[in-house]
């Protein structure tokens, strides 16, 4: 893969503003984050899909706005979390990285690993006093359908989402990416139906990426003779903003009694960031200083 296939996304819009499309290649990002999370094969595909979906939705934000997605089901993976922003910075974590489920009909059993019963939570920090929060029940636990359902039902923007993560014979991420198509008000049913039909007929996005197609070329194939213009091209990369002060605030939030109990153990306390796995150490004296602050 040449330079043009580094992780990035492309956002396009029709001249009348009624259709929007986003395509992303996330191969390196998914590989990097899943290695940090030590995921097994099924968990890699599940988290990879949510990371890609988060990146696609993140590009609809503006400026310093941020987005967090959380999928919590009754399957072995527990909770999957992804955070992203308009600048293409993405991080993600998974509660139980080992799904331990065999493939089902030659496919990774993502729905079984997440669990059929559960919720998709969406938080958006839009720079207002309180973040926007929404929650929808999981429809299929395949992630793409759940994100499309959220966008269509909660945000009232009819949307189709395709997400893919393909592993090689060694179990490494060979290709990952996604597509998002939206009908913006007042809508144009005829063209939307055409795009949805084309989306269903397209080969899996991972196959297109393996053939060397860029996100822009994939959108070109999807839109065909329908006119569109490129609105944005955004690089995607892993970014974790955790720091010492943030971890200190988290410890302070535990309360003085809890800090006293930790200090009484006489051992340095180690706190590991769930996203980047960086460890922060606090000596007994440091814990006592945090008390009452």
CB 66 within 8 A of CB 124: yes
Coil vs helix vs strand at 125: strand
Euclidean distance between the first and the last CA atom of the chain, given in angstroms as a whole number: 51
Q: Is residue 186 reached through a cis peptide bond, with omega within 30 degrees of 0 on the bond before it?
A: yes
Domains 3-238 and 244-290 equal at CATH topology level: no
CB 49 within 8 A of CB 143: yes
CATH number, span 244-290? 3.90.1280.10
Q: What is the structure's pLDDT at 2? A: 40
Residue 40 has pLDDT above 50, yes or no: yes
Tens digits of residue pLDDT in 41-87: 999 999 999 999 999 999 999 989 999 999 999 999 999 999 999 99
Domain boundaries, the chain: 3-238, 244-290
Residue 1 has pLDDT above 70, yes or no: no
Over residues 252-256, the mean pLDDT reads: 90
Round to whole Å and give the CA distance between 30 and 168: 14
Using a pLDDT cut of 70, give the percent of the chain over it.
98
CATH number, span 3-238? 3.55.30.10
Q: What is the structure's pLDDT at 293? A: 66
**Whether the model pTM is above 0.85:** yes
Round to whole Å and give the CA distance between 224 and 241: 40
What is the enclosing helix (H) or strand (E) of 218?
Answer: helix 215-223
């Amino acid at each position: 893969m040449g330079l043009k296939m580094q992780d990035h996304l492309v956002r396009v819009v029709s001249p009348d503003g009624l259709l929007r499309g986003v395509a992303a290649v996330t191969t390196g990002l998914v590989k990097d984050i899943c290695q940090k999370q030590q995921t097994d094969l099924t968990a890699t595909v599940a988290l990879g899909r949510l990371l890609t979906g988060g990146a696609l939705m993140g590009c609809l934000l503006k400026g310093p706005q941020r987005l967090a997605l959380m999928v919590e089901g009754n399957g072995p993976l527990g909770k999957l979390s992804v955070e992203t922003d308009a600048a293409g910075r993405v991080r993600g974590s998974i509660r139980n990285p080992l799904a331990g489920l065999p493939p089902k009909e030659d496919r990774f059993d993502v729905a079984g690993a997440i669990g059929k019963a559960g919720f998709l939570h969406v938080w958006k920090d839009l720079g207002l006093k309180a973040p926007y929060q929404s929650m929808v029940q999981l429809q299929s636990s395949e992630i793409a359908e759940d994100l499309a359902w959220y966008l269509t039902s909660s945000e009232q923007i009819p949307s189709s989402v395709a997400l893919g993560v393909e592993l090689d014979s060694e179990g490494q991420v060979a290709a990952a990416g996604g597509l998002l198509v939206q009908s913006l008000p007042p809508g144009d049913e005829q063209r939307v139906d055409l795009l949805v039909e084309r989306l269903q007929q397209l080969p899996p996005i991972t196959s297109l990426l393996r053939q060397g197609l860029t996100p822009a070329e994939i959108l070109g194939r999807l839109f065909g003779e329908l006119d569109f213009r490129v609105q944005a091209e955004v690089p995607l990369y892993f970014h974790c903003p955790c720091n010492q002060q943030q971890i200190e605030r988290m410890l302070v939030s535990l309360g003085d009694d809890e800090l006293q109990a930790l200090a009484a153990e006489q051992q340095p306390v180690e706190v590991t960031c769930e996203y980047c796995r960086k460890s922060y150490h606090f000596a007994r004296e440091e814990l006592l200083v945090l008390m009452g602050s």
